Structure 1
Amino acid sequence: MNPSVTLDEEWPGHQSVVDYKKNQKLRKVLAHLYTEGTCTLAHLTKVLHSSVPSVTNLVEELIDSKWVTTLGMATGSNGRRPVLFGLNTKHNYVAVLDVSTHDTKILFMNTQREVIFRGDYDLRLNDNPAFLTSLVSYFTDALTDSRLSPTDLIAVGISMPGLIDARRGLNLTYKNLSQTGESVTDWFSMQVGYPVYLINDTKATVLGESRFGGAKGKKQVLAINIDWGVGLGIIVNGEVFQGASGFAGELGHVQVDPDGELCYCGKIGCLNTVTSASALVKRVQRDILTGQVSKLAAFYDKVEQIDIDEIISAAHKGDSYAIDILHETGFQLGKGLAVAISLFNPEIIIVDGVLTKAAAFILNTIEQAISKYCLSDFRNDLTIELTQLNGTAKWLGTHAYMMEDIFANY
């Protein structure tokens, strides 16, 4: 599926000019209602540069196809109040499958991005075909549990870490997901009976921030996703920067320690080995076993129970070891970001991922490292913010990735 949405594509020869222009306007109506929520016919006439009768016919067609519905009356009008129109939230649901090396979340969302069902599952991304088979099973169960009519679901979007080739539907980091090397999206679609989209988790995050979060309206943005791995989402001139193969933003695989640990990618000393949540947990577990003085030493006989939440909790309780290790994580992240700032000159950096819960301990050291390793002129117009989307940016981005493509091909 094409990750970019172009509403003004070239005119296909098999359509008449009239049909082409009409479909183009229908797409614009859907795209506008998706981003703006509601609007009146009068407003749509300005958006489309069309007459009221023409726009009325378009909206009626979208109502008949269950894409649009009336949502009451507008407020603040002195005369007869105009009718508000918006996307129909009772039809055209999509599924978002949020896959990570830690767990899997399955959500069903309506056209206005509201979550109508969520299931959390102990299913971790593994590089073997059994993972996809399990994912299909969990998806089928979740659809049943959601009590949605299967006919009301129109698409499935899967976000996951790794080098995602969206054009071919492949994850080149996890090459054994499909037994025969077949497209992940094609195989999954055959199993579930819906169109399937595949997107890198960090690109989904930055798309969500760009459409609905702190990056909305911004042209040059970096979004760092500090999760079980470290990824960098990049917005250039208002659009997600993909790179030649769709792999741009793998900040977690920039080498920061030539004498460091082996990364799962096969390289030595990647930023992931120093700053990801999984690396942080492994380091703390190892230190506790070697006698590190800390509140976390209470887990000495059960270090496998130390997780990222326990580490952050210890830091909030004043544990100096936990605070120090989080400070060091933030500083290393800042060093990596300093390189990205020098390359892309962003106006804003948005910090997202599971480590945002440790913001009190990592944000200042991120900024200190940027100040130390980045030219001062790059910092003059730069702000660094925590996400305001409370962990939903990835889901919103996956939703937008699907819906924008669906609208573009309406």
Structure 2
Amino acid sequence: MRPEFKYEKELAGTANAKKRKMEQYRKIVSHLYVIGKASIADIVKQSKISQPLVASLVDDLLGFGILLDNGIGESIGGRRPNLYCINPEYQYVLGIDINLHTLTIALFDLNNQLVCRQEFKNFDLENSSIYTDQLVVKVNEILREMNISTANVLAMGVSIPGLVDAENGITFTHLSFAKEGLAFYLSNKLGFSVLLDNDARLMALGEKAFGKAKGKKDVLCLNLSNRIGLGIILNGQLYSGKNGFAGEFGHILIDPDGDLCYCGKIGCLETLTSGEILVRNINKALEKGQASLLSSKKDKGFSVDLRAVIEAIVEGDQFAIDQLNKMGEYLGKGLVTLIHLLNPEMIIIGGRLAHTGKYISDPVNMAMNKYAMDRISSETELVCSELLDDSALMGTLSNVMNEVLGIN
């Protein structure tokens, strides 16, 4: 079900009259969401609705509680105007970032401010209702802790890896047990609307709304965590492809004689470069006696996982850095194909491995410079995300608000 504000569910009248009223209200709310605060005159200019009607609609929205009087603005000749803004506490948006081994839940107000964030480690993703039941419990616990009712949740955005049909709320790689689709399944369990999409596409949406892709037209957003995902922004719009499956960058062929990938094909990029591969290769070397800062962790019985590897890289562990360099070479080769095809102005490295900064960007840049046409690669900027591994989480917020307010 499409997310609706509380007041929209209470509107009376015929279907056509209600639809028209909702559209007029949303024009005003959308403008204030984007701009922050505005006067009646500003809203009239943007909405193309008459001044008397805008004044009446704003009065309605103030009565509903979704708008607040924001005081008096500066005069541009004549009487100083009243300014209006969205009430950030009118409703909230939940954001869920599902990863292979962690679950992150965040709560945002209508000013895009983070109200709370909880990360659950060792929350292993499995294709069963047991997993979703645990997720629902965590969500409800957070809402209780924050004293927020389900009626005050506008919607929940979900980021999940793998193949996703976002339009119909169906997942094909993970949590595909729900025949009616994961979005509908969770919505029934929780009592409010649920929107979901692939994690890399939501990462791109997060970067477009709040990160380094803001104001850019053609950007590739890499989600480098345990696996590899790609979000594509073309001509300022998120590109999803025919069925919403665009961006499976990790499964392009790199080595025809390589290893079997979990997708069933041979020699995919993910068999050579990903967080999982990096951890696996490092653990194999440590077992053979390789010197590293990580050796003592392993000797003490601690798990050498991706977090530990990233910490070692940031601390300057030469062996871990060398392993990341090798991975960056393969990654850069793969990106060259995309650069030649799409000619992006920027490539953003996000996800867990973005925490390594120059240790991942430098080898990728070197490989791109080595294998790509100079005229094309020289105009492609490679950067690490400032949102880091929260970019997909921010993308869930943007996805919900875009859907509710019709923002492109």
In the TM superposition, residue 14 of structure 1 has moved relative to its aligned partner by: 5.9
Amino acid at match of 2:42: H
- How many angstroms apart in 1 are the aligned matches of 2:138 and 2:32? 32
Bigger shift: 294-303 or 163-172? 294-303
Instruction: Flag the 1:112–1:327 CA change in 2: closer, same or farther, 3 A.
Output: same
Shift of 1:52: 2.9
**1-structure distance, mates of 2:404, 2:64:** 14
Tell which deviates more after alignment, 387-396 or 227-236: 387-396
- Structure 1 position 65, deviation (Å): 2.6
User: Quick check: 135-144 or 41-50, which moved more?
Assistant: 41-50
- Aligned match of 1:131: 131
Question: 1:8-27 maps to which residues of 2 (within 5 A)?
Answer: 15=16, 23-27=22-26
Q: Which residue of 2 aligns with 1:223?
A: 221
In the alignment, what sits opposite 2:150? 150
CA distance 1:396–1:70, shift in 2 (3 Å): farther
Instruction: State the alpha-carbon separation in 2 of the partners of residues 401 and 129 from structure 1.
Output: 25
Deviation track 1:309-358 (CA, whole Å, cap 9, x = no partner) reads: 33233334433211111112222221121111122111111121111111
- Tell me by how many angstroms 1:396 deviates: 2.0
Q: Give the corresponding residue for 1:345.
A: 343
Could you tell me which amino acid in structure 2 is paired with residue 63 of structure 1? L
Between 1:310-319 and 1:274-283, the stretch displaced more is 310-319
- Asked if 2 retains the 8 angstrom alpha-carbon contact of 1:2 and 1:167, the reply is no
Give the Cα–Cα distance (whole angstroms) in 2 for the partners of residues 213 and 53 of structure 1.
38
Q: Does 1:55 align with 2:54?
A: yes
CA contact (8 A) 1:131 1:177 kept: no
How far apart are residue 307 of structure 1 and its match? 2.4
1:262 equivalent to 2:265? Answer no
The structure-2 alpha-carbon separation of the partners of 1:343 and 1:318, relative to structure 1 and needing over 3 Å to count, comes to same
Tell me the matched-pair count. Answer: 396
Match of 1:367 in 2: 365
Q: Does 1:104 align with 2:103?
A: yes
| Alpha-carbon distance change, 66 to 332 in structure 1, aligned in 2, over 3 angstroms | farther
Partner residue, 1:159 = 159
1:65-144 pair list within 5 angstroms:
65-74=64-73, 80-122=79-121, 123-144=123-144
List aligned pairs for 1:235-250, cutoff 5 A.
235-250=233-248
Mapped to 2, the partners of 1:148 and 1:23 lie a distance apart of 25
Specify which of 208, 211, 224 is matched with residue 206 of structure 2: 208
The CA distance in 2 between the partners of 1:285 and 1:206, in whole Å, is 31
Distance in 1 of aligned mates of 2:78 and 2:89: 31
* SS of residue in 1 equivalent to 2:174: coil
- Residues 129 and 176 of structure 1 are in contact (CA less than 8 Å); yes or no, is this contact kept in structure 2? no
The one-letter code sitting in structure 2 at the alignment partner of 1:130 is I
Alpha-carbon distance, 1:23 to partner:
4.1
Single out whichever of 280-289 and 40-49 deviates more from structure 2: 40-49
Tell me, what secondary structure is at the counterpart of 2:357?
A: helix
Contact conserved, 1:331 with 1:362, CA < 8 A, in 2? no
1:9 corresponds to which residue? none
Once the two structures are TM-superposed, the CA of residue 177 in structure 1 deviates from its matched residue by 3.4
Q: Which residue of 2 aligns with 1:195?
A: 193
**1:252 alignment partner AA:** G
Aligned-partner Cα distance in 2 for 1:316–1:213 = 23
Whole-angstrom distance in 2 between the partners of 1:237 and 1:157: 24
2:211 & 2:37 partners in 1: Cα distance?
Answer: 18
- Structure 2: how far apart are the matches of 1:341 and 1:91? 44
SS of 2:68 mapped into structure 1: strand
Equivalent residue number for residue 40 of structure 2 = 41
Contact kept? 2:40, 2:55, Cα under 8 Å: yes
Gaps spanning 5+ residues in structure 1: where?
4-12
Is the alpha carbon distance of 1:392 and 1:37 closer, same or farther for their aligned partners in structure 2, counting shifts above 3 Å?
farther
Following superposition of structure 1 onto structure 2, how do residues 293-372 of structure 1 map, counting pairs within 5 Å? 293-301=291-299, 305-372=303-370
Residues 1:399 and 1:377: Cα distance change in structure 2 (over 3 Å): same
Task: State the 1:225 CA deviation.
Answer: 1.1
Change (3 A) 1:317 1:175: closer
Residues 262-314 of structure 1: per-residue CA shift (max 9 Å, x gap): 33222233222332222211221111112222222223435651123332333
Structure 2 residue identity aligned to 1:288:
L
The answer as to whether partners of 2:261 and 2:268 remain within 8 angstroms in 1 is yes
Kindly indicate whether residue 393 of structure 2 is the aligned counterpart of residue 388 of structure 1.
Answer: no
Per the TM alignment, residue 53 of structure 1 is displaced from its structure 2 partner at its CA by: 2.4
Report the 3-state secondary structure (helix = DSSP H, G, I; strand = E; otherwise coil) of the residue aligned with 1:334.
helix
Secondary structure of the residue that 2:272 maps to in structure 1?
helix
The yes-or-no answer on 1:377 pairing with 2:369 is no
CA contact (8 A) 2:126 2:175 kept: no
Alignment correspondent of 1:172: 172
Residue number in structure 1 paired with 2:10: none
Distance of 1:240 and 1:396 partners within structure 2: 15
**Conserved? CA contact 2:313–2:321, under 8 Å:** yes
Identity within the alignment, %: 35
Residue range with higher mean Cα deviation, 225-234 or 137-146: 137-146
The letter of the residue matching 1:184 is L
Q: TM-score scaled to structure 1, two decimals?
A: 0.89
Tell me the C-alpha RMSD between the 2 structures.
2.5
Report the Cα distance in structure 2 between the residues aligned to 1:127 and 1:302, rounded to whole angstroms: 33
Among 278, 281, 297, the alignment partner of 2:279 is 281
Bigger mean CA deviation after superposition, 122-131 or 157-166: 122-131
